[in-house]
């Protein structure tokens, strides 16, 4: 069911698992488990930090029939501590755990809170001089369903993941609490006889309901191929709708925000001693080093990247002579050109998830340009950015398509 989403989910699960140069001794690998931590409740409530003991996903579903049901999987890493000799220094590995659940979305069963409790066992495994130790984790996945007043039938789902592991050391260091934590916790969701509503780009009739969804520690997005609405990934990492792993990325480098080609080349520059230490750090890192060393020139060339049609990867300052960029364009019947003020309404077709933080902000148009696919776009600077003058001098702008801006009437435009 979740095969089309699992590659992205695994990238989320292992984001930051270990970072280049992939050695236990590297300073950047001393502070780990940065994403999706759901810590034991007693520790979370008794310590001064940001690790919650719960996370909550709120999303919307259009039920097609009274038989609509939600099937899901809560996925996370359970820490496994490796202890041994000097040849195998202490290191925290991660075991993938999955908790499956199935909930009704209509009828008597859906009127009350539905709960699936789980217990992940701990234990000790001795392999010669090396000991692997795991600590048990208990928790629950809770669902409540609430009808929403909208032009069409709509249900609001609240899915809450809780860590209910018994904990008697409220002031313990964070490294100890991670042993009983859900790490990289995320949800895979599928609906039958219904459809999810995008929270990033909802239809107009569901916009208010989407704005009322409050997600804590997660970012739910539509998943699977473009156009599908039966799958959702609720991730601790910000994503856009229908995220996908590029086919040119053949291996997990544990840093999805980095460029594969750069990391791969850096791995090849490691000394033999550095590679030996990386291999000894973790079996997953050993497999990574080995796969990079086995890459052939053709596989390496595929990492060099290419322009994907329809994405605003690069803006041409000097478009082809046969299609020069216009001085101004018309958006919603209004002329937009240099000096125009607009409100930003970023859509979901762009690849930069950070654009969602700019939604609703006002900006000044600096130029009308064309991208490499010859689509009109505008370069803007933010009105409230104190560094706008410097960015304007450096010609470092933000870029938006015409359907992602709303022209402001002179009376609406803020004073320069």
Q: For residue 62, give both structure tokens.
A: 């259009």
**What's the pLDDT band for 310 if we cut at 50, 70, 90?**
very low
The answer to whether residue 291 sits within a structural domain is no
The answer to whether residue 170 sits within a structural domain is yes
Say whether both 202 and 92 belong to one domain.
Answer: yes
Of 109, 176, 177, the closest CA to residue 144 belongs to: 109
Say whether both 73 and 184 belong to one domain.
Answer: yes
Say whether both 236 and 320 belong to one domain.
Answer: no
Q: What is the mean pLDDT of the chain?
A: 87
Q: Which helix (H) or strand (E) holds 94?
A: strand 91-104
- Burial code (b: 16+ CB inside 10 Å, e: under 16) for 38-48 equals bbbbbbbeebe
Question: What is the structure's pLDDT at 159?
Answer: 97
Say whether both 192 and 329 belong to one domain.
Answer: no
Question: What is the structure's pLDDT at 76?
Answer: 97
Question: What is the structure's pLDDT at 87?
Answer: 58
The answer to whether residue 2 sits within a structural domain is no
Say whether both 193 and 340 belong to one domain.
Answer: no
The answer to whether residue 217 sits within a structural domain is yes
- Burial code (b: 16+ CB inside 10 Å, e: under 16) for 104-134 equals bbbeeebeeebebebebeeeeeeeeeeebeb
> To the nearest whole percent, how much of the chain has pLDDT over 70?
90
The answer to whether residue 25 sits within a structural domain is no
Say whether both 228 and 336 belong to one domain.
Answer: no
Lowest mean pLDDT among 47-51, 140-144, 356-360, 388-392: 47-51
Per-residue pLDDT averaged across 8-14, rounded? 92
The answer to whether residue 9 sits within a structural domain is no
Here the CATH number for the domain that contains residue 400 is 2.30.30
Strands (E) in 105-202, as ranges, are 114-120, 123-127, 130-134, 137-147, 155-163, 183-192, 194-197
Say whether both 76 and 177 belong to one domain.
Answer: yes
Q: pLDDT tens-digit profile of 17-48?
A: 999 999 888 888 888 998 999 999 999 988 66
Q: pLDDT tens-digit profile of 99-116?
A: 999 999 987 677 889 999
DSSP class of residue 199?
S
Say whether both 141 and 220 belong to one domain.
Answer: yes
**Contact status, residue 100 vs residue 72, Cβ threshold 8 Å:** yes
User: Alpha-carbon distance 338 to 316, whole Å?
Assistant: 16
Say whether both 231 and 326 belong to one domain.
Answer: no
The pairing of strands 54-63 and 194-197 is: antiparallel
Q: Which structural domain, as residue segments, surrounds residue 402?
A: 315-407
Q: For residue 313, give both structure tokens.
A: 């990867």
Picking from 245, 272, 292, the residue at the C-terminal end of a domain is 245
pLDDT higher than 50, residue 309: no
Count of structural domains within the chain: 2
Say whether both 88 and 179 belong to one domain.
Answer: yes
Q: Which helix (H) or strand (E) holds 60?
A: strand 54-63
Picking from 224, 245, 266, the residue at the C-terminal end of a domain is 245
Picking from 245, 275, 297, the residue at the C-terminal end of a domain is 245
The answer to whether residue 299 sits within a structural domain is no
Per-residue pLDDT averaged across 311-339, rounded? 66
- Find the angle CA(122)-CA(51)-CA(46) to the nearest 5 degrees: 85
Say how far residue 245 (Cα) sits from the centre of its chain: 12
**Contact status, residue 53 vs residue 163, Cβ threshold 8 Å:** yes
User: Alpha-carbon distance 158 to 58, whole Å?
Assistant: 5
The answer to whether residue 6 sits within a structural domain is no
Say whether both 107 and 234 belong to one domain.
Answer: yes
């Amino acid at each position: 069911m979740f095969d089309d989403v699992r590659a992205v989910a695994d990238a989320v699960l292992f984001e930051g698992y270990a970072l280049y140069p992939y050695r236990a001794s590297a300073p950047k690998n001393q502070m780990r488990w940065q994403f999706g931590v759901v810590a034991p409740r007693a520790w979370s409530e008794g310590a001064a930090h940001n690790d919650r003991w719960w996370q909550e996903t709120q999303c919307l579903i259009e039920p097609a029939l009274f038989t609509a049901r939600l099937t899901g999987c809560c996925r996370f890493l359970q820490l496994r501590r490796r202890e041994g000799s000097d040849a195998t220094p202490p290191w925290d590995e991660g075991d993938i755990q999955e908790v499956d659940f199935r909930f009704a979305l209509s009828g008597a069963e859906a009127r009350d809170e539905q709960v699936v409790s789980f217990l992940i066992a701990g234990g000790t495994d001795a392999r010669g001089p090396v000991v692997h130790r795991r600590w048990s984790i208990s928790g629950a996945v809770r669902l409540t369903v609430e009808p929403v007043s909208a032009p069409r039938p709509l249900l609001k789902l609240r899915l809450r993941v809780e860590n209910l592991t018994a904990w008697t050391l409220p002031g313990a260091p964070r490294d100890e609490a991670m042993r009983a934590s859900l790490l990289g916790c995320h949800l895979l969701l599928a609906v039958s006889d219904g459809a999810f509503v995008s929270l990033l780009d909802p239809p107009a009739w569901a916009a208010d309901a989407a704005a009322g969804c409050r997600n804590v520690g997660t970012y739910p997005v539509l998943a699977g191929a473009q156009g599908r609405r039966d799958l959702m990934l609720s991730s601790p990492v910000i994503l856009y709708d229908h995220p996908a792993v590029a086919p040119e990325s053949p291996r997990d480098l544990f840093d999805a925000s980095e460029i594969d080609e750069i990391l791969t080349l850096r791995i090849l520059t490691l000394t033999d001693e550095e590679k030996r230490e990386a291999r000894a750090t973790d079996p997953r890192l050993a497999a990574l080093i080995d796969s990079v060393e086995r890459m052939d020139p053709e596989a390496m060339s595929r990492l060099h990247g290419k322009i994907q049609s329809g994405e605003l990867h690069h803006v041409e300052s000097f478009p082809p002579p046969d299609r020069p960029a216009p001085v101004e364009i018309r958006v919603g019947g209004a002329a937009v050109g240099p000096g125009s003020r607009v409100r930003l309404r970023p859509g979901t077709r762009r690849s930069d998830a950070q654009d969602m933080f700019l939604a609703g902000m006002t900006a000044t148009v600096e130029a009308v340009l064309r991208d490499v696919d010859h689509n009109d776009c505008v370069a803007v600077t933010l009105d409230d950015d104190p560094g706008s003058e410097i960015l304007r001098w450096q010609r470092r702008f933000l870029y938006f398509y015409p359907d992602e801006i709303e022209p402001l009437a002179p009376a609406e435009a803020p004073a320069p």
